[in-house]
Structure 1
């Protein structure tokens, strides 16, 4: 069947389009004791017309209900004839059990895996998930690492600022590429573009007069030069993509904009007898909740000995070369978060589908107002990261490269730099959440991080402890 995109415009009209099929089932008042999470959908048009502070507050309230609510069968929980894949894919047969630790279902709520130290945070090893390569081969029921990778849950605090940084950097890199293509066409000679944004280098691309590109020197990013800052492999470009994938994979809640009739030809792709499970407006609320989670900060109530050690440790952290990847702060020009964003892909609501995306100005939030600004007035986001992928394992130290299954064409020993701004509150560590201490995870760094790891190990014990004191001062406040 030919797949067509909705012709409806305006986020608000699009929301109505996607939610329209729900109206008959949701008629009447919902009793206050209802176990349902997905009942009366929000009025996105009304919320979008409200003043910014009220708009954010109402979206956050609904988003938190969705994030913490425990989905039940009446909501659409379960996907008996659909896999966890990001592309709508039928199962060969219904799963023997609805809930299982492998291909899911493995959680009733988003907060089941994102709750430490507070809602939206990460989780311990007990909440690990199993992920496939991500496309359509996700119908498995084995822990064999050839079929799935075990992953720890990452904290989502500050993710709105992270996505905004990724959007701006993507724009910069693609503009450099496009400029090189124009120069090559105009001059008739090959042109090299050095791909750098916000001080982070992603290698280079060579543009040829015939319009072709030599992408062999690109580093740490996909050839399309789109930064995808979410997941430990850096393969999801937006909170909207991340949320739609997770809802289907972990809960069996299928978003209309990907699994509905527009793309699959049926309102009940997973055959659980609940059509049109979650509409565009509620996805926007879920995105808004995550995007407005406060950024991690630093502990302020430390004893003097800890403060002194942390200050010395921060200096040593830089001197050992750790800030080469864990950059203390990146500048952000605009704090306005649009949903859907400019980099959404097929199967996710896109800006072309709406007249005007929903705008959420993170700049009105207290935690953003408290961040420092550079000489250009740009917000300095203290993420301790670079949004770039790096090879961090080798034959000498394979700990962080022990997966057997590639994900979204990213090599098994390549991961996106972990943002450290809340690392003091996110133990245990590593992509499998099986390294118990900060000392262990630093020692496990190899590949591109070998020099920094060896420099750390060469320090005196007091100096290593100072670095740990610094890292443990980077906190997600309770």
Structure 2
């Protein structure tokens, strides 16, 4: 940490210490990062140093001296100060429920997934912002996903959003020119998102849209696919799980006060520190497909990869999606109010992921595009039905996404992220494959009908998809 801080000071990124604190102080946030200095291209060693500072914050065990806790504020994503006085500093359900990001994202290492004990309780954060019951009518219980390769996932989502919106714009242009409705398929990176019909008057019929919101923004994070960016995810989590309010949402600009939660600590965490946390998450290396040492395992995995394709699993769990650019802008292009936006800064930072050591290992296609091996499609699908309902085990919709509709889970890193399922309560891969219904019913039925040797081979291959750290 000391080396990272020294380098950041030399680069002009670190503001003076908040106060003279002894080395043994129980205050975790000792200095602030200057958001204005986190601008333009940041690459190589400078990017690694900023990410290291973000890792320190990701692993920091926030205390009340940092402003941890939110006595008068709820977990709502829109600043809401209607909370009842809390009996305890930590509350497992309504939160705050952790004092470090790594308390949950830690398997097999920092930035990884979490076991069942680290489950989060997700509500809309408005009508059920305070609750003290496990009853699913108040909250959805979710397992903790890993964050490895998250920067690549967000970059894919941004490029797919551009493709979808370009398709809509072209359809509208043609409808205006012809005076007739124009019905088009919306496809991004080979993934079909249904159809829209553009009208000559500029309106768009979205009845046939599939797997994406009406604004055509791909939101790649959370199991429902409702978080646009790592920045939005980080800002939300700091308040919900730690009671640390980022200035960019809970500060004076939007709330009229520097101490929205009324805990006596103002300006708890700034945009610069959030940027460092985003840099850490965005630069986490992508998971790998690891060849087992055991020859029998290698042979079984080879067969299992074929079985995976034959079952049609690649329809949703696409082996790779092409990515044109490894330049990660922060703030991003589609973040909304309440999260730092590009218009809020003079010059956005651009984290050049291509300068990181792991980027050289990524395969490329004939067009020179990076092939991101995520085994996903960044699309929502109905994953349960009345016959196979296990993965539709939630009562509440979230952000108007139906309770049995979820984002395709990326399979990379699967070997290190058990247990499985949205609630993290499925202990084996065999169980979670059998639980697939809805859009995946045909593949799951095919799996159930396979000979035992082929089912075993598929598991053998899935267990080669490692976080790799």
TM-score clears 0.5: yes
Q: Which sits farther off after the overlay, 35-44 or 240-249? A: 35-44
The one of 183, 188, 206 equivalent to 2:197 is 206
Q: Is residue 47–residue 55 contact of structure 1 (8 Å, CA) maintained in 2?
A: no
Q: Which of 352, 358, 377 is equivalent to 1:367?
A: 358
SS in 2 for 1:275: coil
Contact 1:87/1:136, CA 8 A, preserved across alignment: no
Whole-Å separation in 2 of the counterparts to 1:50 and 1:32: 33
Seen in structure 2, the aligned counterparts of structure 1 residues 168 and 134 have a Cα distance that, compared at 3 Å, is farther
Partner of 1:356: 347
The alpha-carbon deviation at position 204 of structure 1 amounts to: 0.8
In structure 1, the residue corresponding to 2:85 is in which secondary structure? coil
Q: Which residue of 1 is the match for residue 7 of structure 2?
A: none
The one of 423, 444, 447 equivalent to 1:456 is 447
CA separation of 1:318 and 1:134: change in aligned 2, threshold 3 A: farther
* Cα offset, 1:366, TM superposition: 1.7
Q: Of residues 265, 273, 277 in structure 2, which corresponds to 1:286?
A: 277
SS across alignment from 2:240: helix
TM-score by length of 1: 0.93
**Within 2, Cα distance between the matches of 1:271 and 1:162?**
36
1:43 Cα deviation after fit: 3.8
When residues 444 and 66 of structure 1 are mapped into structure 2, their CA distance, relative to the original with a 3 A threshold, is same
Question: How far off is 1:302 after superposition?
Answer: 2.5
Runs of at least 5 residues in structure 1 that lack an aligned partner in the other structure? 1-14
Q: Distance in 2 between matches of 1:276 and 1:75?
A: 10
Q: Is the 8 A contact 2:251 2:257 kept in 1?
A: yes
Deviates more, 1:305-314 or 1:53-62: 53-62
**Distance (Å, rounded) in 1 between the aligned partners of 2:384 and 2:455:** 21
CA RMSD of aligned residues (A): 1.7
Q: What SS does the aligned partner of 2:31 have?
A: coil
In 1: Cα distance, 2:213 partner to 2:37 partner: 38
Q: Is the 8 A contact 1:71 1:108 kept in 2?
A: yes
- Segments of 5+ residues of structure 2 without an aligned counterpart are 1-11
Q: Deviations over 1:409-445 (max 9, x none)?
A: 1000000000001101110000100000000000000
Cα distance in 1 between the residues matched to 2:173 and 2:262: 50
8 Å contact from structure 1 (residues 135, 408) kept in 2: no
* Pair 1:79-2:70 in alignment: yes
Q: C-alpha separation between the residues in 2 aligned to 1:149 and 1:459?
A: 34
- Residues 1:215 and 2:206 are matched in the alignment: yes
SS of 1:41 mapped into structure 2: strand
1:63 correspondence with 2:54 = yes
TM-score by length of 2: 0.95
Contact 2:71 2:83 in 1 (8 A): no
Structure 2 residue corresponding to 1:302, chosen from 293, 301, 319: 293
Q: In structure 1, what is the equivalent of residue 336 of structure 2?
A: 345
Q: 1:271 aligns with which of 262, 285, 297?
A: 262
**Aligned equivalents of 1:133, 1:279: Cα separation in 2:** 25
Match of 2:417 in 1: 426
Q: Say which of 131, 134, 146 aligns to 1:140.
A: 131
What secondary structure does 1:363 align onto?
helix
Contact 2:287 2:412 in 1 (8 A): yes
Q: Report the 3-state secondary structure (helix = DSSP H, G, I; strand = E; otherwise coil) of the residue aligned with 1:117.
A: coil
> Following the alignment from structure 1 to structure 2, what is the Cα–Cα distance between the partners of residues 301 and 192?
49
CA contact (8 A) 2:95 2:241 kept: yes
1:314 to 300, 305, 315: 305
Q: Which residue number in structure 1 is paired with residue 217 of structure 2?
A: 226
Q: Which residue is 1:5 aligned to?
A: none
How far apart, CA to CA, are the structure 1 residues paired with 2:18 and 2:274?
A: 21
Counterparts of 2:250 and 2:37, CA distance in 1: 26
Superposition map of 1:225-264 within 5 A? 225-264=216-255
Partner Cα distance (2:256, 2:128) in 1: 21
| In 1, Cα distance between equivalents of 2:384 and 2:332 | 33
Superposed CA offset, 1:207-255 (max 9, x none): 1011111001000010110000000000001000000000000000001
Describe the superposition over 1:192-212 as per-residue Cα deviations: whole angstroms up to 9, x where unpaired: 121001110000111101111
Contact 1:456/1:464 (8 A) holds in 2:
yes
Structure 1: how far apart are the matches of 2:80 and 2:186? 37
Aligned residues: 458
The within-5 A match list for 1:118-197 is 118-135=109-126, 137-197=128-188
Go from structure 1 to structure 2 and tell me whether the alpha carbon gap of 1:183 and 1:438 turns closer, same or farther (over 3 Å shift): same
Deviation at 1:136, TM superposition (A): 5.7
Q: 186-195 or 87-96, which moves further after superposition? A: 87-96
What is the distance in 1 between the residues matched to 2:241 and 2:396? 19
Q: Over residues 326-372 of structure 1, what are the superposed CA-to-partner deviations in whole Å (9 max), with x where a residue is unaligned?
A: 00000000000000000101101101112221010111112221011
Rounded Cα–Cα distance in structure 2 between residues aligned with 1:249 and 1:196: 35
Match 2:464 to one of 452, 455, 473: 473
